[in-house]
Amino acid sequence: MPKRGAPPEVNAGSMADIAFLLLIFFLVTTTIETDAGLDRMLPPIEPPETDVVIKQKNIFEVIINKNGQLFADEELVEISQLREKAMGFLDNGGAPSGSADYCNFCQGSRNTSSSDNPTKAIISLKNDRETPYGTYITVQNEIVGAYNDLRNREGQRLYKRDFTSMEAAYLNPETAESVRDELKDKVKAIQDLFPQKFSEAETSNN
Amino acid sequence: MSKFSKKKDGELPAVSTASLPDIVFMLLFFFMTVTVMKDSSLKVENILPNANEIKKLEKKDRIIYIYAGRPTQEYQKVFGTETKIQLNDKFANASDVGDYILQERAKKPQELQNVLTTSLKVDKYANMGIISDIKLELRKVNALKVNYTTYDGDAFRNLQ
């Protein structure tokens, strides 16, 4: 039999079936992972020096009770005010201008009854066993946010770029090596200006 | 007149289905690139809280996962409604966390063993008590790098 003008078309209906099978396989066996969160360092189990003298004014104590109420620096505050208060504490720079601890980039109120300079300022977080985890995360978020806002301010002042964007670019494995090396020094410099001295005390059983 | 074929009356041309597989393949490629193979199915309720000061966990091979929350409906009859910890695929107690971390650490290559991060995926309605127990166990085995895994969003929505 002579061939027809055009060869017969391949039936494409079964291609869709193959594609559906593969699609169903992937739908069933994979998940869209959440892979971001608040990075924290836990304190080591034996404190390195137990008898370092820390002045009371250099500690900012945050306590959350089981109802989710917040005590910051001995007064009852709303969680929405926490970020400002933490920033005020860290940025205070209470050391007088002649002394070795003076910080010249602090823009806070320079109150002598609050922290001396950001490298000595410690924030300590304490919570109850019945505190809901969501509230705890909100408080952590606000405190980490206070550190990030101050570091961003310094990043803009020194390098005209937000600290968080520099850090994200540095951590991203896709950026070029040379760019990452120069970012590394800048990121470290800003981290040293406002070190994250944020510790978590043992929980209580109120 | 022979160049133009007679117009068919009333018959619609058949719709070509050759492009249907293309649409399905596009969906397939989307799923292949965006998702990861699950390594354990969740037996606990795990609605993560929101936070916006988050950092991405880049390297999947340096992460150890710990899930915590109330057991899902089908496990509630056996395991109750208290917050529980899930490690890999099984329920566990806080005291098992230390051994689990040491096991996972031993499975990793030598140079990665000191830079492992523990990702805590905890339901937002869980209580802090069990979390403090987990943190104490982590400190005992010196797994100090911890990431509280959350969704990206406004943190104040956790308070409702």
- pLDDT digits 0-9 by tens, A31-87: 777 678 888 888 777 765 655 667 777 888 888 888 888 888 778 888 888 888 888
The rounded distance, in Å, linking the Cα atoms of B41 and A164 is 34
Q: How far apart are the first and last CA of chain A?
A: 94
Mean pLDDT confidence for A155-160: 86
Segment 71-110 of chain B within 8 Å of chain A by CB: none
Mean pLDDT for chain A overall: 80
Task: Please write the tens of the pLDDT for every residue from B94-130.
Answer: 888 888 888 888 888 888 788 888 888 888 888 888 8
Q: Is the pLDDT of residue B45 over 80?
A: yes
Beta strands A70-72 and A59-64, pairing class: antiparallel
The rounded distance, in Å, linking the Cα atoms of A158 and A166 is 12
Residue with tokens 């505190």: A131
Q: Is the pLDDT of residue B143 over 50?
A: yes
Most confident of B12-16, B61-65, B137-141, B155-159: B137-141
Of B38, B128, B144, the CB nearest to A30: B38
**pTM given for the model:** 0.77
CA angle A136, A140, A142 (to 5 degrees): 120
Mean pLDDT confidence for B50-62: 80
User: Within A54-162, where are the H helices?
Assistant: 82-90, 133-159
Q: Is the pLDDT of residue A2 over 70?
A: no
Decide: A200 and A123 in contact? Cβ < 8 Å.
Answer: no
Segment 13-52 of chain B within 8 Å of chain A by CB: 17-18, 20-21, 24-25, 27-28, 31-32, 34-38, 48-52
B147 lies within 8 A of chain A by CB: yes
The rounded distance, in Å, linking the Cα atoms of B64 and B87 is 9
Model confidence band, residue A198 (pLDDT cutoffs 50, 70, 90): confident
